[in-house]
Structure 1
Amino acid sequence: MGLRGAAASFSFLLVIIINKGLPSPLTGKEAWSYVEVRDGAHMFWWLYYADDQPAGYKDLPLVMWLQGGPGGSGSGFGNFEEIGPLNRDLEPRKTSWVQAASVLFVDNPVGTGFSYTDRADAFTTNVTMVATDMLVLLKHFFTEKAEFQNIPFYIFSESYGGKMAAAISLELTKAIEQGTVKCNFAGVALGDSWISPLDSVMTWGPYLYTTSLLDDYGLADVNSAAEAVKQAMEQQQFTKATELWSVTETVVEQNTNGVNFYNILTQQPDERRFSSAGENYIALQTRRHIGPLHSQSLSELMNGPIRKKLGIIPQNVTWGGQADLVFSYMAEDFMKPVVDIVDQLLKAGVNVTVYNGQLDLIVDTMGQELWVKRLKWDGLSGFNKLRWTPLDDPTSPGITGAFYKTYKNFAFYWILKAGHMIPSDQGPMALQMLKMITQQA
């Protein structure tokens, strides 16, 4: 086990900025490195120190961002498409989270983004392995970056990243109690998260029907396909359930003329719709859900100037080159719920936030509310008695941008006019939510 490559600190993307002839947007610091979390399994991390003057990073929290997929890259998509200091065109992002926190992107599971494995048996196959790997990385990180040990540390996540975040948070809580990891863990935020996959699938039909995207025939077709997923889950045939989930998505596409699972107000591009002759469900789902996180322009950026800037990426490693394998190896675990882990986190006193986009289909809010209402947490009845509070859109005073409820150590944010990728769709609202969760607003 050990660090691979020396961590580096420079002004934000200075090398790229000089090459592009752009003015420097910030005067902060960065660091990045590899950790070999298991023999043959190498995880990449990239840290941006908070650059909110005059506070400085020591007065602001540390946020770790986990992407979905599994196989989506935080160092790529999360960084340049959602919350990093620069966008994909290397222009300053006005709603960057680095204004309010130091941000740590980790490419996980191994094989994601710039993370890589040396051989096939080094890929993870379930969230337990994912959490174990992350604990190795976090132990190294907080040892090497001891200045962050007392700074409030939050895990924020999106999509399948939320499922991983829940499992990681529970193991981190145990590790802190045992003294094996030194950090000030302050909470986990689950964004449009794959916590209870079956609840999502079972509500696709009703959600699309009530938003006028299915007729009666389409509703019957989608509900029938979803029921098959449910039966497989009840029989604990988890790989079959993943395959039938893919079939249900195809039924949705056929009955909606290709609605976009990430935002119901848009349509899937033609190249991501429907299955081709002889194409297995893993290839189809990789095209549907891993492909959007690896656009040609983002891939060219990551494998070109970013790779050159970082200077530690092995010659045989391509950003996103193993993403399809990551998804494939996690297929059996994909549909398994982790609601029980959320309950354990709440019982342990961990601050848990759920946030969801109004226009998201793949993890629709209806499904999220179903599993939340089944929590065994002793504060649930108190939470349910609360009415939600409206939040103004930061860019449009007087216009509602979100609603939220918070009770004891649990909170729920309903983000309006946002799909699956909330920071991309509603950047100002996402930044305000970050500040509220980390108690800066």
Structure 2
Amino acid sequence: MAYSQQETKKCFLISLLFLLCCSPWQLVSARKRIDNLPGFDGPLPFALETGYVEVDEDKGVELFYYFVESERNPEEDPLLLWLTGGPGCSSLLGLAIEIGPLNFDLQNYENGLPSIYYKPDSWTQVSSVIFVDSPVGAGFSYSRTTEGWQTSDTETARRLLHFLYKWLEEHPKFKSNRLYISGSSYAGMIIPVLAVEIAIAKESHGAQFNLKGYLAGNPMTDIEGFDKNAKVPYFHGMGLISDELYESTKKICSGNYMSPSNIHCAKYLDAVNEVTKDINMGYILEPYCGSVNSPRPDQIPSRTIERMSYIEEVPLGSSRLPKECRDAKYQLSDFWANNGTVRDALGIRKGTIVDWNSCTNLDVPYTKDIHSAVPYHRIITNKGYPALIYSGDHDALASFISTQAWIRSLNFSIVDDWRPWYSGGQVAGFTRKYSNNLTFATVKGAGHTAAECKPRECLAMLDRWLSGAPL
């Protein structure tokens, strides 16, 4: 549900005041096994657990998670830690929209509590997945102190390391499972950093993490240096701007579209923005609806990749949701997670989060103190950990153009050159493998994010990569 900044700030302060002064709930039961969920017809066909892990005792920071055991062989299948982007989007979006075994029934929604249904092309077919609400303030994660709400990229990685320590201590049977750090979008800034922290913990402290690699989908990696600067060549490559406008912009701006060096460059960038202003940046094949994944381009040099909630607030009980818009599912997630019976079923501590948002409001203080994740990719792959980096080829937010550019900057040699990969007998995308065991893949026809748009193909891609087979 979209709220004004004044409303979200008020809700945030009410939550914090309740936590500081009242605190009627107990912290004894941190885990809950769930067999049924409101809105789902019948018992769940998979094992679901929810719970909290305290990751900062001094500041009272509690991260909420959903855990789904592998539907194939949980004793032997890999364990994935899944991070949703934002920063500050709830992992419920991973569970019920992106890679998990649930989905919201948008097409049949009329009013009241949204229905959810089982999605067979889930990554839980081949792996167990921990979906964690991170950073604090995302989803149902919260802090009992004012200081705890303040966080950053580096602090988020540190808290996630603590989360894994404690979660595995509470779930010792998964300690020996192969561990992979995974996620999408802005999580691309955190994934390699966390992987490096885990590797260092293993090397210096003998930490019992069975880390075997990491994967990042449609990842933000170096927002100012690569991600935003790739938009103009991406627009041209996808036929969204003319050859003449592209060549003139490229010449006048000298290939630097983030910091216009002269008034003529700024003029051409304005022309690019004007031509592409009504394109869905998250998925250029689909209608622009103005929501989480389809913000307007605005001015390329000044844009930030944040949660921009443009969908007009639609009241619960209304059938006015734009069902032609994929991102309307984010609105359904707001309806669902703010329902009292849902919260009771999930084991949510009363009073901790007054109004749940699919992506956290900007009043929760967050510092982006990692400007480029590229050096961390170099460090972790140099340590021998495999990486899978994949991009939906119709995503303009974190385009395959920018991803290929930062991978090239690593100067890894090509081991297996550009070729198609297949799913169901059809070309599902293209892939290239580099030294340091880094695999890059596009997902044909997918947007931001790839697994949401092409679940069957992405499941096939994941299964092959986890097994060590070529895509």
Q: Is the counterpart of residue 172 in structure 1 residue 204 in structure 2? A: no
**Paired residues, what number?**
403
Query: Tell me, what secondary structure is at the counterpart of 2:308?
Result: helix
**Structure 1 residues 426, 126: CA separation in 2 closer, same or farther (over 3 Å shift)?**
same
Q: Is the counterpart of residue 312 in structure 1 residue 325 in structure 2? A: no
Instruction: For 1:162 and 1:256, locate their aligned partners in 2 and report how far apart those are by CA, in whole Å.
Output: 25
Give 2:186's aligned residue.
160
Once the two structures are superposed, the pairs formed by residues 131-170 of structure 1 within 5 Å of their partners are 131-170=157-196
Once the two structures are superposed, the pairs formed by residues 255-334 of structure 1 within 5 Å of their partners are 255-270=275-290, 286-287=308-309, 295-304=330-339, 305-317=341-353, 318-320=355-357, 323-325=360-362, 329-330=366-367, 332-333=368-369
Give 1:401's aligned residue.
428
Give 1:239's aligned residue.
none
One-letter code aligned to 2:42:
P
Instruction: For 1:268 and 1:36, locate their aligned partners in 2 and report how far apart those are by CA, in whole Å.
Output: 39
**Structure 1 residues 72, 149: CA separation in 2 closer, same or farther (over 3 Å shift)?**
same
For 1:381, which of 393, 413, 416 is the aligned residue?
413
One-letter code aligned to 2:49:
E
**Structure 1 residues 230, 249: CA separation in 2 closer, same or farther (over 3 Å shift)?**
closer
Give 1:78's aligned residue.
94
Contact 2:245–2:272 under 8 Å retained in 1: no
Instruction: For 1:274 and 1:250, locate their aligned partners in 2 and report how far apart those are by CA, in whole Å.
Output: 13
C-alpha deviations, 1:170-209, integer Å up to 9, x for none? 1011112233632211111011111122212112111112
Query: Tell me, what secondary structure is at the counterpart of 1:345?
Result: helix
Q: Normalization by structure 2: what TM-score? A: 0.76
Unpaired runs of at least 5, structure 1 = 233-247
One-letter code aligned to 1:5:
S
Deviation (angstroms), 1:346: 1.0
Query: Tell me, what secondary structure is at the counterpart of 2:379?
Result: helix
Instruction: For 2:414 and 2:132, locate their aligned partners in 1 and report how far apart those are by CA, in whole Å.
Output: 36
Give 2:60's aligned residue.
40
Query: Tell me, what secondary structure is at the counterpart of 1:401?
Result: strand
**Structure 1 residues 252, 298: CA separation in 2 closer, same or farther (over 3 Å shift)?**
farther
For 1:415, which of 443, 449, 452 is the aligned residue?
443
Contact 2:307–2:360 under 8 Å retained in 1: no
Q: Is the counterpart of residue 8 in structure 1 residue 25 in structure 2? A: no
Query: Tell me, what secondary structure is at the counterpart of 1:412?
Result: strand
Give 2:378's aligned residue.
343
Instruction: For 2:454 and 2:205, locate their aligned partners in 1 and report how far apart those are by CA, in whole Å.
Output: 39
Contact 1:260–1:268 under 8 Å retained in 2: yes
C-alpha deviations, 1:240-298, integer Å up to 9, x for none? xxxxxxxx99976532142111111224225776699xxx9789853269x95982211
Deviation (angstroms), 1:311: 1.9
Give 2:81's aligned residue.
64
Give 1:241's aligned residue.
none
Give 2:319's aligned residue.
none
Greater Cα shift, 336-345 or 181-190: 181-190
Contact 1:275–1:284 under 8 Å retained in 2: no
Contact 1:77–1:294 under 8 Å retained in 2: no
% same residue? 23
Once the two structures are superposed, the pairs formed by residues 357-376 of structure 1 within 5 Å of their partners are 357-375=392-410
Instruction: For 2:390 and 2:201, locate their aligned partners in 1 and report how far apart those are by CA, in whole Å.
Output: 26
One-letter code aligned to 2:222:
S
Contact 1:154–1:188 under 8 Å retained in 2: yes
**Structure 1 residues 150, 44: CA separation in 2 closer, same or farther (over 3 Å shift)?**
same
Contact 2:89–2:358 under 8 Å retained in 1: no
Instruction: For 2:248 and 2:61, locate their aligned partners in 1 and report how far apart those are by CA, in whole Å.
Output: 45
Instruction: For 2:453 and 2:297, locate their aligned partners in 1 and report how far apart those are by CA, in whole Å.
Output: 28
One-letter code aligned to 1:417:
G
C-alpha deviations, 1:63-114, integer Å up to 9, x for none? 111111101111x111111122221232110201111111100111111111
One-letter code aligned to 1:433:
M
Give 2:129's aligned residue.
103
Query: Tell me, what secondary structure is at the counterpart of 2:75?
Result: helix
One-letter code aligned to 1:37:
D
**Structure 1 residues 196, 27: CA separation in 2 closer, same or farther (over 3 Å shift)?**
closer
Contact 2:153–2:190 under 8 Å retained in 1: yes
C-alpha deviations, 1:201-256, integer Å up to 9, x for none? 11211111222212344776798599463479xxxxxxxxxxxxxxx999765321
Give 1:93's aligned residue.
119
Q: Is the counterpart of residue 210 in structure 1 residue 237 in structure 2? A: yes
Greater Cα shift, 205-214 or 107-116: 205-214
Instruction: For 1:194 and 1:322, locate their aligned partners in 2 and report how far apart those are by CA, in whole Å.
Output: 17
Instruction: For 1:32 and 1:422, locate their aligned partners in 2 and report how far apart those are by CA, in whole Å.
Output: 28
Structure ranking higher in helix proportion: 1
C-alpha deviations, 1:380-411, integer Å up to 9, x for none? 1243xx323422223xx2x2012223345211
Instruction: For 1:195 and 1:180, locate their aligned partners in 2 and report how far apart those are by CA, in whole Å.
Output: 29
C-alpha deviations, 1:102-158, integer Å up to 9, x for none? 110011111111112345532354321111111111110011111111100111110
Query: Tell me, what secondary structure is at the counterpart of 1:34?
Result: strand
**Structure 1 residues 424, 149: CA separation in 2 closer, same or farther (over 3 Å shift)?**
same
**Structure 1 residues 408, 281: CA separation in 2 closer, same or farther (over 3 Å shift)?**
closer
Instruction: For 2:442 and 2:288, locate their aligned partners in 1 and report how far apart those are by CA, in whole Å.
Output: 24
